[in-house]
Structure formats: structure tokens, C-alpha cells
Amino acid sequence: MSIERPRRLRATPALRRLVAQTRLDAADLVLPVFVRDGISEPHPISSMPGVVQHTMDSLVRAAREAVDLGVGGIMVFGVPREEDKDATGSVGLRPDGILNAALTRLRDELGDETVLMSDLCLDEFTDHGHCGVLGQDASGRSVVDNDATLEVYAQMALAQARAGAHVVGPSGMMDGQVRVIREALDGEGFTDIAVLAYTAKYASAAYGPFREAVGSSLQGDRRTYQQDPANRTESLRELRLDLAEGADLVMVKPALPYLDVLADVAAAVDVPVAAYQVSGEYAMIEAAAAQGWLDRDRMVLETLTSIRRAGAQIVLTYYAAHAARLLGGAP
């Protein structure tokens, strides 16, 4: 009886490439970008080396570069002036607000060359930093009012659709958000606008650098509406609800700490599945690479491949353009 030798299929780069079960392509990736009101030059984000808050012009240049590199889509986050924030995040609804103005500019510049996604949430725009409108519970405690928030989300979805988004991404984890957004869009004739449901969004420490990126005014935490990291099957309940409410795509966030959840979701659906390699995941790679503790480029491709291997068809990553260069052999 012959000895089994799995190493035969690892002997050369060509063999390894031929039998690879998971392939990574630039078209699988979505680049999250931040555009900030009131700045004249791109502003570096200290906790995310290489990532900036864009001006409108630098945003267009970055988006064009990503498109030319073959990146599959752009997810846009708006950073308003501090004085424009209020309790209800009203600047997020205004056509001239930074997010909607950026969507309009990008759609005018790029048309349908890319998939233009918009963050549909209030946290960047509220003076308290929460993802919804605040109210009081029966005991008088301040809480995020789920149903009042849904009314604002419906308006926000329409504002982003009018501004030119192809896909809206409700990230606030409010109960019923996909249904309300789908009904609002369909009711105004935006039946072609897709909804990317943040189905499993965990209350993670890995969002820390993102808070700097969007100039968050958060007071307290979001554990009453984002999922508990200790729970796994709760995500399948959220998935069932999002699909019933009309989600076109679903997402797990963060990615690497929740690959088990990602695999569960991918096995359960027949719609595209996305995962978000969040700011803290990016920052950890950058910090370790800066110390010489790991090979940055290898780690970038390895982590993105692992997310794809776990079941994500789409990966949101701040490395999207850089990974596209690596995959294309560009320096």
C-alpha cells in the first residue's frame, strides 16, 4: 500500500495555485472611505496609518483609483462638522449634508462603474454618538428609542437613494430596520436600490479606531442594540428576520473574531454574504508590521483569504486598494 503524500500538491507555486480551494480577487473587495466636511486637505487618522478623512476632491481620486484597480465597491461614511451634529442626526438627511453630497459627487463622477454603498446610521451625525434617537424607558432611564429611530432611518434611506447610492447599509442594529427601509424605498419607486443588512454586528472592542475616523461623540456604549460577543446562534435569528424583511445581502461584523458566525450565516442563506474587516483588525496588522513582527503584505492577503474561506463573497476592508495591487502584481 502506497504512503499518502499530501505534500505532492504543494511542491511548486503552480501546483499550489492549481489546487487552491479559495481564490481572492479585487472584485470581491469593498473599500470603506471617510469624507469630512470643512477640511481642505486629507486628514490622517492616527490609529489607522495610511487611512485618511478625505476632502471631496481626494475622495473622488481615491474612488477612481479603487475602480481602476478593479475593487468591487466603495462604502461611504460621512464626517460632519461638530456644530452640525444634533440629537436626531438631522444633517444625515440633508441633501447638502456631507454624506449625501459625497454620494452625489461620486455617482456623477463614476456612474455605474462601481457599486456605491452608503452607511445608513445616525452615529456619525448625533451629538450623543448613538446609532439612534434617544428616549426614556418606563423607569426614566435614557435609552435608544428603537421605533422612533426607524422613522429617521426611512427618511435617511430615501435621502441616500436620491443622492445616488446603489446599496444602502443600515448598520444600527435596530429591530425592524430592514423592513422599514425596504418599504420606504419601494414606496418612492426606488425598487432597484439594494439593502445590505448588517445582520450580525457585535458590540466589539475592535471598533475603537473607527470612532476616531468618524469623530464619534459616543457617550456610553452600544451593548443594548449590538450583539453580545458571547452569543453565536442569536445571529441566525437576526438573519431570519433580515431575510424575511427583504435584505438583499447580509453581513457579519467584525470579520476575523467571528469567522464561526460567518460560516454559520454563509451555510444558511442563498443571498450574497459580506464580512467587514473592521478598523481594529486593520490597526492590529499595521501595529505589528510597524514593529517588524510580521510580514504586512502576507498577513493582509492571508486574513482576507481566511474571511473568504469562511464564506464571505464580499469583504469590506481598508486594504481593498492595497490588496488589489498585490493581487495584480503592482508595487
Q: By the 8 A CB rule, do 130 and 186 touch?
A: no
**How many residues belong to the chain?**
331
Phi and psi of 199, rounded to 5°? -70, -50
**Residue 70, by phi and psi: left (phi above 0), alpha (psi -120 to 50) or beta?**
left
- Pick the closest to residue 173 from 148, 203, 194 (CA basis): 203
The catalytically annotated residue of 201, 222, 308, 322 is 201
d(CA 260, CA 266): 10
Pairing of strands 52-54, 43-44: antiparallel
How far is CA 249 from each of CA 54, 133, 155, 196, 306, rounded to the nearest angstrom?
27, 26, 21, 5, 20
Active site residue 201: yes
Q: Which of 253, 275, 314, 317 is catalytic?
A: 253
Nearest-angstrom CA–CA distance, 281 and 207: 9
85 is catalytic: no
Give strand pairing partners of 135.
143
- In the block, cell 429591530 appears at 175
Backbone torsions φ then ψ of 116, nearest 5 degrees: -95, 115
Residues serving a catalytic function are 201, 253
